[in-house]
A and B are shown apart, each in its own frame.
Chain A
Amino acid sequence: MTATTFKSRINLCFGKLRQCGSKGLVVYLTAGDPSLAATGELLAAIERGGADVIELGVPFSDPLADGPVIQRASERALRSGTTLTRILEHLPRWREKLQAPVVLFTYFNPVLQFGLERFAREAAQAGADGALVVDLTPEEAEDYTAVMRAQHLDTIFLAAPTSTDARLELAARSSSGFLYLISRTGVTGERAAIEASARTLVERARRLTALPLAVGFGISKPEQVREVQALADAAVVGSAVVHAIEERYDSAGAPAIEQFVRALKEGCNPA
């Protein structure tokens, strides 16, 4: 993989965090949950709450890496007519109001049907900063990473506690922006405690790559965010935020989500 001299928004973001000795918060939400209009509002709220990087989920009919919370969000988003095409249509307007890097978080088939090259081109035009294709492993991803690099988009891959050193290295080599470490075996979803497997994986990854490391899966509380930030460069919170959107958005609107994210960021208990 040829190293790019181009400084992506994600590179700059992690560079800035490193400079001031702080750690990042990556927040996931599903686009179109409960509607695309809501997503515009929620993105701004999540940034105001303190997210450093935003993962924007593309809903899929068969999200087999996701637990029940994100499955329900995908179903709501699909019911509201959300597709990859419509997300890319809306993204430029959302982007205008955001500083934070936006990573498209998707399953592979919608991207494949859209066309790899067209996906990279239109994602770049729309103002996305990179993508994470959750069911695409690096050994199958050569064409995809090539078209993404050509558009100066970051490709983020996953490493898991079950990944061997060889696989970890491959994931790191294929990734740019940051490397996403899965804290434990399993699907996405909130958990009471961070497992020891997360620490081991971070330590192994550290030895193999200089990329910023973000840890996700099962992180839902401010104290867990702190715990992860002590190990890695950033913590990813997905299901907990999606759960908050599910429970509070209709009644309390985007400010409730802003508050929830701020609590994660500041490490105090959410209201």
Chain B
Amino acid sequence: MPETLMHPVEELTEAFQAASRDAKFQAELAHLLKHFAGRPTPLFHARHLSEHLGGAQIYLKREDLLHTGAHKINNCLGQGLLAQRLGKTRLVAETGAGQHGVATATVAALLGMDCTVYMGEEDMARQAPNVFRMRLLGAEVVGVASGSKTLKDAINEGMRDWVTNVSNTHYLMGSVLGPHPYPLMVREFQRIIGQEAREQILTTTRQLPDLLVACVGGGSNSIGLFYDFIPDREVKMVGVEAGGRSLSLGEHAARFAGGRPGVLHGAYTYVLQTPDGLISNTHSVSAGLDYAAVGPEHSALFRQGRVEYCHASDEEALEAARLLARMEGIIPALEPAHALAEVVKRAPRLGREQIIMVNLSGRGDKDLGIFQQAGIL
């Protein structure tokens, strides 16, 4: 990390630790999560899809029903309150699919803060409705034309803004990426997904799930679902990365399939890169998974073998989205559609008494243009 940001990051670490112990902060966050964001989210038994695939019972954790349409709001409310506590008046964020940008702009409006969101120009084009939503919420959206014009480049530009305006600005990282304390802090704000889901499945079925499935871009929705199940050794977990068009470098974002350990944006983790250590461009139909590095905690879980990582292609994700829409009347975002693509492969291999739980991390409204272009009707 640049030296200029080291002291701010140390301050943030202290503030986060203090807030974690502060009952008033926790109560305020819990209040907003319930009354503003709409928690707890339901756990839905997708009976028709389960029947259709002919194997395990599939349960969907409905993060897509949250205010702003994805799990991102959980983390934004937490960090927004923390930024206020630090006396910051301005939020800066990167966004890929725009879900994190919309959630940040929403929290900025709610808390009366200024907001600037950096977004790759390619992502602005393919997720145009979210650009409009952010602007309507009062945020400034700045297009980034460098590099691959996607999430990695937006983070570079967001960091440049932060390093310049560090005295009044909080960088609201949207995933379990970046320097400490971000990976830990974002995980703590997303853990609620798994905490709720664990209680819900035990109440409904009186058993733990056999398999958890979630998509992995930076990895916040997946770590959020997985974390509280880690001690349950009998629960298998699968993280699904973006397989893109093919597995040649630049055509996908499957870090565990094509990457190796390196440093990007202040984290040591699996990174897609050239032999010379230059960060590779990536491709995915889903802007939210289109990033060259993965959250460092996922690298640790991969090395420990606690979580298995696989990938789904653009085509498989689009097909899985269509299937869910037809079977259950739910249009998923393209990010969790990657998780559903893996469920399509695995459910038939499991028994009917077994349970797969999927994090349906966001809804598909933002992707209608891509669905249309892909001609999946």
Task: Please give the residue numbers on chain A whose beta carbons come within 8 Å of chain B beta carbons, in ascending order.
Answer: 60-65, 67, 71, 75, 78, 83-85, 108-114, 134-135, 137, 157-164, 167, 171, 182, 185-187
Q: How far is the CB of A240 from chain B (nearest CB, A)?
A: 18
Structural contact, A135 and B276, CB atoms closer than 8 A: no
Contact yes or no, B265 A64, CB < 8 A: yes
Judged by a CB distance under 8 angstroms, whether B86 is at the interface is no
Q: Are A185 and B266 in contact (CB-based, < 8 A)?
A: no
B192 to chain A, nearest CB (A): 31
Q: Which residues of A contact B273 (CB under 8 A)?
A: 109, 113
Q: Please give the residue numbers on chain B whose beta carbons come within 8 Å of chain A beta carbons, in ascending order.
A: 1-8, 146-147, 152-153, 155-156, 159-160, 163-167, 262-266, 271, 273, 275-279
Chain A residues near B166: list those with CB within 8 A. Answer: 162, 185
- Supposing A109-B279, A163-B6, A186-B163 touch, asked if A62 and B156 sit within 8 A by C-beta, the answer is yes
Taking CB atoms, residues of chain A closer than 8 Å to B159 are 64
Q: A61-B279, A113-B277 are in contact. Are A137 and B4 (CB under 8 A)?
A: no
Chain A CB within 10 Å, residue with most, of B155, B263, B265, B276: B276
- Given known contacts A158-B3, A160-B4, A182-B3, A61 and B147 CB-to-CB distance under 8 angstroms: yes
Whether the pair B2, A62 counts as a contact (CB closer than 8 A) is no
Interchain Cβ contacts under 8 Å between A and B, 30 examples: A60-B278, A61-B279, A64-B2, A64-B155, A64-B156, A65-B163, A75-B146, A83-B276, A83-B278, A84-B277, A108-B263, A109-B262, A109-B263, A109-B279, A110-B278, A111-B277, A112-B263, A113-B276, A114-B277, A134-B2, A135-B1, A135-B2, A158-B2, A160-B7, A163-B6, A163-B7, A185-B163, A185-B165, A185-B166, A187-B160
With known contacts A109-B263, A135-B266, A71–B6 Cβ distance under 8 A: no
State whether A78 touches B278 (Cβ < 8 A): yes
CA distance A171 to B156 in the complex (A): 24
Closest to B158 in A: A64
How far is A101 from B160 in the complex, measured between Cα atoms in Å? 30
Distance from A81 Cβ to chain B, minimum over Cβ atoms (Å): 10
Interface of A is mostly: loop
Chain A's nearest CB lies how many Å from the CB of B339? 28
> Within 8 Å CB of A163, what residues of B?
3-4, 6-7
Contacts of A112 in B (CB 8 A): 262-263, 277
Collect the chain A residues with CB atoms within 8 Å of residue B155's CB.
64
Query: B163 contacts A187, CB within 8 Å?
Result: yes
Separation in Å of the A214 CB from the closest CB of chain B?
14
Cβ A71 vs Cβ B146 within 8 A: yes
Q: A62-B279, A135-B266 are in contact. List 19 more A-B contacts (CB 8 A).
A: A62-B156, A64-B2, A64-B156, A64-B160, A65-B2, A109-B271, A113-B273, A135-B2, A137-B6, A157-B3, A158-B2, A160-B2, A160-B4, A164-B7, A182-B4, A185-B163, A185-B167, A186-B160, A186-B164
Contacts of B147 in A (CB 8 A): 61-62
CB B271 to nearest CB in A, in angstroms, measures 7
State the CA gap A158–B4 with chains docked (Å). Answer: 9
Listed from nearest, the 4 A-B pairs whose CB atoms lie closest are A113-B277, A110-B277, A160-B4, A186-B164
User: Which residue of chain B has the shortest Cβ distance to A171 in the bound complex?
Assistant: B3
User: Distance in Å from the Cβ of A213 to the closest Cβ of chain B?
Assistant: 15
In the complex, what's the smallest C-beta–C-beta distance from B146 to chain A, in angstroms? 6
CB distance from A218 to the nearest CB of B (A): 11
Nearest CB on B from A63, distance (A): 8
From B152, B165, B167, A62 is in contact (CB under 8 Å) with: B152
Cβ distance B206 to chain A, nearest Cβ, rounded Å: 47
Contacts of B165 in A (CB 8 A): 185
Docked pose: A130 CA to B4 CA in angstroms: 22
Report the Cα distance A150→B241, complex, angstroms. Answer: 42
Q: Smallest CB–CB gap between A234 and chain B, Å?
A: 18
B3 pairs with A85, CB closer than 8 A: no
**CB-CB < 8 A to B2: which residues of A?**
64-65, 134-135, 158, 160
Residue numbers in A under 8 Å from B3 (CB-CB): 137, 157-160, 162-163, 167, 171, 182
Residues on A with beta carbons closer than 8 Å to the beta carbon of B5: 162
Name the contact of B160 in the complex, choosing from A60, A67, A160 (C-beta under 8 A): A67
Instruction: Tell me the complex Cα distance, A78–B160, Å.
Output: 21
Q: A84–B163 contact, CB under 8 A?
A: no
Quote the shortest CB–CB distance from B261 to chain A (angstroms): 8
Bound-state CA distance A24–B18 (Å) is: 46
User: Is A113 in contact with B6, judged by CB distance below 8 angstroms?
Assistant: no
With the chains together, A74 CA to B266 CA distance in Å? 20
Q: How far is the CA of A186 from the CA of B153 in the complex (A)?
A: 17
Chain B contacts of A161 at CB under 8 A?
A: 4
Give the chain A neighbours of B4 by CB distance below 8 A: 160-163, 182, 185-186
B6 and A110 form a contact (CB under 8 A): no
Chain B residues within 8 Å of A158, by CB:
2-3
In the bound complex, how far is the Cα of B3 from the Cα of A134, in angstroms?
8
Q: CB-CB < 8 A to B160: which residues of A?
A: 64-65, 67, 186-187
Q: Which of B7, B152, B276, B278 contacts A162 (CB 8 A)?
A: B7
Please give, as numbers and ranges, the residues of chain B lying within 8 Å of A157 by CB-CB distance: 3
Distance in angstroms between the alpha carbons of A136 and B163 in the assembled complex:
15
Complex alpha-carbon distance, A78 and B167, angstroms: 34
Residue of B nearest to A157 (CB): B3
